[in-house]
Amino acid sequence: MEKTDVDRLRRLDREHMWYPWTPMDDWMANDQLVVERADGCWLIDPEGRRYLDGRSSMGMNLHGHGHPALVEALVAQARKAGETTLYRVSHPAAVELAARLANMAPPGLQRVFFAESGSTAVETALKAAYAYWVAKGEPERSTFVSMANGYHGETLGTISLRGVNNDQVDMIRKTYEPLLYPSLSFAQPDCYRCPVGMSSGGCELDCTDSLEEILVREKGKIAAVIVEPRVQALAGVITAPEGHLAKVAEIARRHGVLLIADEVLTGWGRTGTTFSCDAEGVTPDLLTVGKALTGGYLPLSATLATEEIFDAFRGGAFLSGSTYSGYALGAAVALASLDLYEKDDVLGRARALADVLTAELEPFRGLSHVGDVRQLGLIAGVELVADRENRTPFPPQDRVVERVCTLARDNGVLVNAVPGDVITMLPSPSMSHDDLRLLTGTLFRAIREVTGE
C-alpha cells in the first residue's frame, strides 16, 4: 500500500470507525496496527511489517490464514449458493455439518442448532434450557448458575451470566446492570487465589460446595448450570484442577438441573482433546461451539443438544433463530475445516505444540514479577504481580500488562491482556514450533524490560 493510501485509511478510521471494547480517545490519539494481509500465523501491515499472531485472532484461527482448501471450499459453495437460510428450507452443507458435529461431539449430543457467533450460540443454549423446562411444566426454573467471573459473550442474555461474587470489577456487567436478568454464580476454581483458602495440595474440589449450596437452596428454581469447561480463559486463564468439570457435572445431575458447556473457545483441540468435556468424559445437555468452527474464516456457531432436550420441543417449535442460521457458505467452510482437522491431525499438532509451550513457559516462573503461569493446551496465561510473596497486583495506573503487550507488539508479536494483569496466549495449532519459541521469547524479554528485571 502507498503511504498516501495508508494516511487516507487512518483518517477514515478516525472519522468513521467505532471499535469493540476500545477506549476511542486512546485509539484516535495513536497510530494503530492495521492488518492488511495475513499468511499462516503472521499478520502483515500495509508497510509490509509482519506480526506473529499469538492470539490466533481471539482463538479463531485453526489452520493458518490463506489455506487453499478453505479458500476453495468458500468459492465452490459461493458458486453453488451463498446462503439459503434454514427457515423451512434445508441445504446439504448444513445437514452434513450437523451430522459431522454430532459424530465428533461427546456421545449423546445428536441435535445441532446453528447460529453465527459464540454469544448467539450461548444465548440459544440459555433459551433452549429455559424453554425445555417450560415444555416440561416447570416454568419456575428460570435461574441460571454460572461460574464466577466467567465469560459467555456479549448479548444481554449472556452478560447476565457473568458472576460478580468476587473482587474483580466487572465493568461490562456494571454498565448494563438494569437491563440484565438476575443470575447466580458459584466459586471459580482458582488455584492461585483459592476461594476456599487451600494453600497447596489437599484439594478436594471444595470450591464446588458453593454450587451444591445454591442448588439445595434454590431447589426447583434453577434451569441450568453453565461453565467454560476446565479453563476460564478471559477470566485470566483460570485452569480448573483435574476432576472439577466431572464434579460440577455430577452435582448438576444429582440436583436434576441441566448442564451447559460453553466450548466456544475450547473446541477443536485447543485444550488437548477435541472438546474440553472429552477429557473428563462429560456429556453436557447443551454444548456450544463457535470461533474455530470454520477455522476462523467465517462466522458460524452451533448449539448441540441431547435428544432428551430436542424431544421436549417435538409437540411445538423452538422459538428461536436468525436469518443467517446455518448459512451455506459458513457450513461449507466448516466442513472443509473439519476435513482438515482430521486429515492434518490438528489435535496431534495442538498437543505437540502445547508441549513446546509448556517447556517454553518454564523460565517465566523464575521472573520476579511473574506470580503464576497457567496453561491448558494452547491456552496460556502469565500473571504479573508487583509482589510475588503477597501476590499483590501492580497499581492499575502503571498499566504494566498493557505496556508489556505494546512492547511485544512493537517487537512483532501479538498477545492479549485480560483483567487481573494476565497476559494470554492462544497460539493456533498451525503455528510452527520455532514461531512459538519466537512468541514466548519475545514476550519473556518484554516482561523483563517493562518490569525492570
Whole-number minimum distance, CB 286 to ligand PMP, in Å?
13
Told to check if 162 binds ligand PMP by CB under 6 A, we report no
State the Cα–Cα distance between residues 421 and 427, nearest whole angstrom. 19
Q: Which residues contact 277 (CB under 8 A, 6 or more apart)?
A: 106, 229, 245, 261, 263, 283, 284, 287
- Residue closer to ligand PMP by CB (options 146, 442) is 146
Q: Is 264 in the site for ligand PMP (CB under 6 A)?
A: yes
Q: Is residue 381 near ligand PMP by the rule CB under 6 A?
A: no
Per rule CB under 6 A, is residue 430 in the interface with ligand PMP?
Answer: no
Q: Does 55 bind ligand PMP (CB under 6 A)?
A: no
Residue 152 Cβ vs ligand PMP, minimum distance, rounded to whole Å: 5
Between CA 335 and CA 96 the distance in angstroms is 8
Binding to ligand PMP (CB under 6 A) within 389-418 occurs at none
* Candidate list 51, 114, 133, 151; residue touching ligand PMP; CB under 6 A: 151
Question: Which range in 127-135, 148-156, 237-245, 337-345 contacts ligand PMP by CB under 6 A?
Answer: 148-156
Determine the interface stretch with ligand PMP among 102-110, 171-179, 262-270, 425-433 (rule: CB under 6 A). 262-270
Q: How far is the CB of 233 from ligand PMP (least distance, A)?
A: 6
Candidate residues 228, 285, 372, 383; the one interacting with ligand PMP per rule CB under 6 A? 228
Q: Helix or strand or coil: residue 444?
A: helix
Among 53, 123, 190, 262, the residue binding ligand PMP under the rule CB under 6 A is 262
31 DSSP assignment? P
Grid cell at residue 45: 501491515
Which has the closest alpha carbon to 62: 274, 265, 270, 295?
295
Exactly one of 290, 371, 377, 420 binds ligand PMP (CB under 6 A); which one?
290
Smallest distance, Å, CB 58 to ligand PMP?
A: 6
Exactly one of 118, 330, 420, 427 binds ligand PMP (CB under 6 A); that residue is 118
- Of 10-18, 258-266, 400-408, 419-427, the window that binds ligand PMP (rule: CB under 6 A) is 258-266
126 Cβ contact list (under 8 Å, min separation 6): 144, 157, 158, 161, 223, 224, 226, 260
152 versus 162: smaller Cβ distance to ligand PMP: 152
Q: Indicate the residue among 60 and 385 with the shorter CB distance to ligand PMP.
A: 60
Nearest to 247 by CA among 198, 292, 206: 206
Residue of 40, 153, 284, 295 that binds ligand PMP (CB under 6 A): 153
What is the nearest approach in angstroms of ligand PMP to the Cβ of residue 358?
A: 22
Give the start-end residues of each E strand in 148-233: 184-186, 222-227, 231-232
In angstroms, give the least distance from the CB of 263 to ligand PMP. 8
Is 190 or 228 the residue whose CB approaches ligand PMP more closely? 228
- Contact window for ligand PMP (CB under 6 A) among 257-265, 267-275, 313-321, 424-432: 257-265
Q: CB–CB of 243/280 below 8 Å? A: yes
Which residue, 61 or 451, is less far from ligand PMP as judged by CB? 61
Kind and range of the H or E run holding 434 = helix 433-451
Rule CB under 6 A: is residue 427 a binding residue for ligand PMP? Answer: no
Does residue 122 touch ligand PMP according to CB under 6 A? Answer: yes
Distance between CA 138 and CA 147 in Å, rounded?
A: 24
Q: Are the CB atoms for 415 and 447 separated by under 8 Å?
A: no
User: Which residue in 229, 309, 315, 313 sits closest to 272, CA to CA?
Assistant: 229
H-helix or E-strand spanning residue 448: helix 433-451
Q: Are 50 and 44 within 8 A, CB to CB?
A: yes
Least distance (Å) from ligand PMP to the CB of residue 138? Answer: 27
Closest CB 31 distance from ligand PMP, rounded Å: 26
CB of 158 to ligand PMP, least distance (A): 7
Cα–Cα distances (Å) from 71 to 24, 94, 432, 447, in that order, read: 34, 18, 21, 38
Is there binding between residue 377 and ligand PMP (CB under 6 A)?
A: no
| H-helix or E-strand spanning residue 214 | helix 209-217
Beta strand residue intervals within 402-451, DSSP E: 413-414, 416-418, 422-425
The residue ranges that bind ligand PMP (CB under 6 A) are 58, 117-119, 122, 151-154, 228, 233-234, 262, 264-265, 290-291
